[in-house]
Amino acid sequence: MRAKISASHIERRACVYVRQSTTAQVLHHAESTRRQYALADRAAALGWPRESIEVIDEDQGRSGASSDGRTGFARLVEGVAHGKVGAVLAVEVSRLARSSPDWQKLLSLCAVAETVVIDEQAVYDPSDRDDKLLLDIKGTMSEAELHWLGLRLIGALRSKARRGQLRVPPPTGYVWAEHGLSFDPDEAVQRAIRLVFDRYAVEPSVFAVARWARETGVLFPTCQRNPEGVSEIEWKQLGARRVYEILRNPTYAGVYTYGRRPCRATLIDGKIRRVRADGRDPSKWAVRIDDAHPAYITWETYVKNQEKLSENRLHRSKRGAPHGGNALLNGLVMCGRCGVRMTARYGKNSRPHYVCRRDHNYTTKICWSLVADPVDRSIEKLFLETMVPDELDVSLAVEQQVGAQAESLDRHWKLRIEQATYEARRAERRYKATDPDNRVVARTLEREWEERLRELEEIQAQHREARRIHRVELSADDRARIRALARNLPMVWKAASTPQADRKAMLALVVEAVALTPIDLPQRSTRVQVAWRTGATTELTVPRPEHGRCTPRMAAARVRELANKKLTDGQIAERLNRQGLQTGAGLAWTTHAVARVRARECIPCNPAPCRHPRVPDCDARGRYSVAGTAKLFGVSVHVVREWLQKGWVGADRESNVLWLTIDDATRDNLHDHLRRTAHRYPRLVLPPGKQSKRAASQKAAP
């Protein structure tokens, strides 16, 4: 054994590598850790001084299946590669690596650097063929052992999961009972879970549910588990991510599942990465047991929720959830030419256009586009004329639905108040049951009692605020208003308080899709085909502007005709507005709009007559105007106005004209000022004989 260890090995340091795969092994498998640290004594017995022995134990709790994240192993490999390590000590091969590429890389470096590998039984020289063969076999068996262990563990888990007996952490709203999952005994927790599902059936998207919860002050229970395994309920604000997780979890539909999102290896940017599947396809779940426990919703409701989530997902081929943009048909409109879903685009003034791109990658020109306003107005008119249901049935259904939602929300608040009251009473009983002389315990229990009372007051205040603002309880006047609104759909549609997203949601309830097809002959128009959810179709024809917002041909011809009559832009705009003509944007004509049309159509300009006569530079009394003063001193009119503000020049106003009195003293003072500040006016040209010395020298320089 010592024959394989030479003086060159002793001169370098010996590295003892210590590793356990998990934190639990580090805490509970102390004997294995003790054996690994004892290798330092073995290195000392083989001849290495104590100061030359380095223990690398920073990879504790990390798996040896890969070298990613193992900084200690990377430092060991670097030391071997630079010839600083004479021996690598490990209790067995699996402590160093359970991956063949990592193991072979370390052995190759050890063979070139003449570094020996030492375990509890022997010393190996990687440059020796026999020792290299033994180390290769041990490395292969270590890697295979990891696979065998995984098969045993995963096989046992799946076998237990197929019977529905594998106890995975239950989601909020469930607890483990003797025969499987059951509802949480806390009614407030159950009511909160049901409230999320009921609200998602009404709201168009996950974010709408989270926004409603934030506006109404509804809190959601979150199960917090401590290291001892005891779970506690903590009420937090409901976020969109939490709503999405609840809707995606099939456990709430009474289905026991296991292996919904397995890990698989894939190539990302040329590197092997392990990613999880999305788990949306039930046929790919490893274990699925229907009706395994009580359910909050049915399986059919769960499937509908998944379809709604898929439709709301941001994708070109999906309809998407209604948003607040001005385009009414965004998500519903299809191209009649190529069958691709059209998208809404907004200009500088938020004027929407429907645009069709065949491949949606912005690499090719658009198929065609049109202004959205004419089509939206026609669809809105058709919708309001078509939706004339039985007023009594609609009013009763709306009143019943709104009343059920208000009752469910009020029940949620009452359960929270009841739970908070119980917690306050329990804290009170604990405080009164303690020994008054034990002041340390009494002060703690008193503080806990005060906190519970404070929480109860906050919940009661939030409940009163919700009843006042969000109508948790409906009064007789509220029900009368609901019935009136249900009988008058146009009033609800056109109300200023109705968001555009709600109008889109109402339209999506009855309209499946709207196909738009351009028509160029005999007149430019758009064929609008409305596919209703009932299976019926309606076809309309809507006039289409020349090119989105381009000026109509009749208006452009009229501008040319009036310009030939020597009318100014203002007069032309007045004539066009009087005749009822509009711009391409559907607005009234202005002077600037006429000027833009003239510039685009190459129509000559007719300048307006000058309203004010030209002011001379100097009057008969020798006074100068502002423009004349600027010419006299070679400065701009802004500099002259600055002189007037500072009072350096006297001025008189006659007939709305400002005349400046400039005598010899004022003239000399201003010239002196210009000489001192010539650097501020690089383009200033002083009158002859008044140039500064600096300007004269610059002019004389070659």
* pLDDT bracket for residue 15 (50, 70, 90): very high
| Domain stops at, among 490, 510, 543 | 490
40 and 154 co-located in one domain? yes
Please report the pLDDT score of residue 396 as a whole number: 42
Is 688's pLDDT higher than 50?
no
The least confident of 23-32, 272-281, 282-291, 392-401 is 392-401
Q: How far apart are CA 616 and CA 632, in angstroms?
A: 13
Please report the pLDDT score of residue 612 as a whole number: 58
| Domain stops at, among 267, 297, 313 | 313
Q: Six-digit token pair at 54?
A: 């380095």
Q: Does some domain include residue 141?
A: yes
588 and 644 co-located in one domain? no
Please report the pLDDT score of residue 447 as a whole number: 80
Q: Does some domain include residue 168?
A: no
Q: How far apart are CA 571 and CA 564, in angstroms?
A: 13
Would you call 598 helix, strand, or coil by DSSP? Answer: helix
Name, in order, each residue with C-beta under 8 angstroms of 212's C-beta and a sequence gap of 6 or more: 199, 203, 218
Provide the edge-to-edge strand list for the sheet that holds 53-56: 53-56, 13-17, 85-89, 116-118, 123-124
Q: Does some domain include residue 470?
A: yes
Is 397's pLDDT higher than 50?
no
CB atoms within 10 A of CB 349: 8
Residue 572 structural domain: 553-601
Would you call 230 helix, strand, or coil by DSSP? Answer: coil
| Domain stops at, among 490, 505, 530 | 490
What would the mean pLDDT of 272-301 be, rounded to a whole number? 87
> Strands 123-124, 116-118: parallel, antiparallel or unpaired by DSSP?
antiparallel
Is 227's pLDDT higher than 60?
no
Q: How far apart are CA 622 and CA 652, in angstroms?
A: 13
Please report the pLDDT score of residue 697 as a whole number: 43
What would the mean pLDDT of 582-611 be, rounded to a whole number? 78
Name, in order, each residue with C-beta under 8 angstroms of 468's C-beta and a sequence gap of 6 or more: none
The least confident of 58-67, 657-666, 677-686 is 677-686
Is 40's pLDDT higher than 60?
yes
Is 188's pLDDT higher than 50?
yes
451 and 307 co-located in one domain? no
Write down the residue that tokens 């385009």 correspond to: 327
pLDDT digits 0-9 by tens, 498-547: 777 778 877 887 888 899 998 877 777 889 999 988 888 899 888 876 55
Q: How far apart are CA 429 and CA 426, in angstroms?
A: 5
Q: Six-digit token pair at 206?
A: 């996950």
**Strand partners for 353:** 345, 371
Give backbone dihedrals phi and psi of 165, rounded to 5 degrees, phi first: -105, 0
448 and 398 co-located in one domain? yes
* pLDDT bracket for residue 700 (50, 70, 90): very low
Name the residue with higher pLDDT: 472 or 157. 157
Q: How many helices (H) and strands (E) does the chain have?
A: 25, 22
695 and 656 co-located in one domain? yes
Name the residue with higher pLDDT: 546 or 695. 546
- CATH number, domain with residue 35: 3.40.50.1390
Please report the pLDDT score of residue 392 as a whole number: 37
Would you call 241 helix, strand, or coil by DSSP? Answer: helix
Q: Does some domain include residue 496?
A: no
96 closest CA partner among 119, 78, 113, 129: 119
* pLDDT bracket for residue 398 (50, 70, 90): very low
> Strands 511-519, 333-335: parallel, antiparallel or unpaired by DSSP?
parallel
Q: Does some domain include residue 527?
A: no
Is 87's pLDDT higher than 90?
yes
- CATH number, domain with residue 238: 3.90.1750.20
* pLDDT bracket for residue 221 (50, 70, 90): confident
pLDDT digits 0-9 by tens, 614-650: 778 888 888 888 888 888 888 888 888 888 888 888 8
CB atoms within 10 A of CB 420: 20
Q: Does some domain include residue 368?
A: no
309 and 258 co-located in one domain? yes
Q: How far apart are CA 242 and CA 209, in angstroms?
A: 11
9 and 147 co-located in one domain? yes
CB atoms within 10 A of CB 21: 19
6 and 148 co-located in one domain? yes
* pLDDT bracket for residue 613 (50, 70, 90): low
* Cα torsion 582, 583, 588, 589: sign: negative
6 and 125 co-located in one domain? yes
Is 341's pLDDT higher than 80?
yes
Q: Which of 21, 67, 395, 692 is catalytic?
A: 21
Q: Six-digit token pair at 476?
A: 């007789």
CA distance to 74, 387, 624, per residue, from 653 (Å) = 88, 71, 12
DSSP states of 158-201: HHHHHTT---PPPPTTEEEETTEEEE-S-HHHHHHHHHHHHHHT
Please report the pLDDT score of residue 301 as a whole number: 92
The least confident of 71-80, 371-380, 385-394, 533-542 is 385-394
Q: Does some domain include residue 68?
A: yes
Catalytic, 142? Answer no
445 and 578 co-located in one domain? no
The number of folded domains in the chain is 5
153 and 293 co-located in one domain? no
Is 701's pLDDT higher than 50?
no
Q: Does some domain include residue 446?
A: yes
DSSP states of 413-449: HHHHHHHHHHHHHHHHHHHHHS-TT-HHHHHHHHHHH
Average pLDDT along the chain: 80
189 and 294 co-located in one domain? yes
